[in-house]
Amino acid sequence: MHSQPESVTMHNIRSVRRVAAIHDLSGVGRVSLTVVIPILSTMGFDVCPLPTAILSNHTQYPHFSFLDLTDEMEKIIREWERLKVDFSAIYSGYLGSPRQTQIVSNFIDRFRKPDTLVVVDPVLGDNGRLYSKMTEEMVAEMRLLAKKADVLTPNLTELFALLGRPYRSECSDAELKDAIIELSEGGPDTVIITGVPVQGQPSLTSVIARSRSDGRTWKVTCQYMPAHYPGTGDAFTSVVTGALLQGDSLPIALDRAAQFILQGIRATFGYQGDNREGILLERVLPNLALPIQSATYELV
């Protein structure tokens, strides 16, 4: 007598954890969703995109088409509620208006559960300046959204904007540690500052992070390559998100992300292509499955 096969249930099928990815979608140029989806999928997660806009190519090109999806975002969210979709993580990036920021804030309130990881990349500016469409109202809304994050990943420009302070390009580790503590007191448990110059060593760049619940501050330093590739910030935060969901400690997640970005830049740097297309992500995605070769993190 043969046993009957086990019936297929939604519990059986839903063995892969979902990530809600709230970013824009560019047809040309590896940024936002075209970076987030392959990285998190490679790391074993079901990525559910909630697109904020569709662009022909990203905005670092001189010309592009742009379709705003603010109204559609709310329709998608209502359908997801009807489906009772659940997420292991909610991860937001570039948001184009105060209204979109409010929609994301409400989305977190409606879909967050006790074990949901909320990651906010507060895209506001770089190199000491806010991006062209980032008004003071947008900065104020981003401050409110940042309070709801478990993990917040500003660069130096965004750190000072969120704190309401003038930008400074050179800061000591102790000063950045104090800034992280101040920002973390407003809500996010973990704050990760990206793109921090290493004083006196222009060939190096670093990432500094601290979790309020852990009480320790970590620093990861890696080689600085003299080239700019759009989308590396999206790739960094995506790897950190996936690593934390896989159970990595914060310093290991930082190491994995920093090393992945460096591998991507090195894979791309030798070619004479258009840097605006981003790193050759396809060449380095398999590296996400490899164990970390050497940890460079340190306590500060």
- What's the total number of domains in the chain? 1
Q: What is the mean pLDDT of the chain?
A: 92
* CATH number of the domain encompassing residue 256: 3.40.1190.20
Could you tell me the pLDDT band of residue 226, with boundaries at 50, 70 and 90? confident
- Which residue range is the domain that position 94 belongs to? 17-299
Residue 32 has pLDDT above 80, yes or no: yes
pTM equals 0.93
- Residue 295 to residues 116, 146, 176, 225, 289: CA-CA distances in angstroms? 27, 29, 22, 19, 16
DSSP calls for 171-221: --HHHHHHHHHHHHHTS-SEEEEEEEEPTT-TTEEEEEEEETTT--EEEEE
Q: Please report whether residue 171 resides in a domain.
A: yes
Domain assignment present for residue 39? The answer is yes
Residue 205 vs residue 153, higher pLDDT? 153
Helix (H, G, I), strand (E, B) or coil at 275: helix
Q: Please, which pLDDT band fits residue 14 given cuts at 50, 70 and 90?
A: low
The answer as to whether 6 is a domain residue is no
Asked, for residue 10, whether it belongs to a domain, the answer is no
Q: What is the pLDDT of residues 34-53, one digit of tens each?
A: 999 999 999 999 999 999 99
Inside any domain, residue 36: yes
pLDDT at residue 259 greater than cutoff 80: yes
Given the DSSP bridges, would you call strands 217-223 and 298-299 parallel, antiparallel or unpaired? Answer: antiparallel
Residue 123, domain member (yes or no): yes
In a domain, 5, yes or no: no
46 within some domain:
yes
Residue 8: pLDDT band by 50, 70, 90 thresholds?
very low
| Average pLDDT for 221-235 | 90
Write out pLDDT tens, residues 154-172.
999 999 999 999 999 889 9
Mean pLDDT for 185-212 is 92
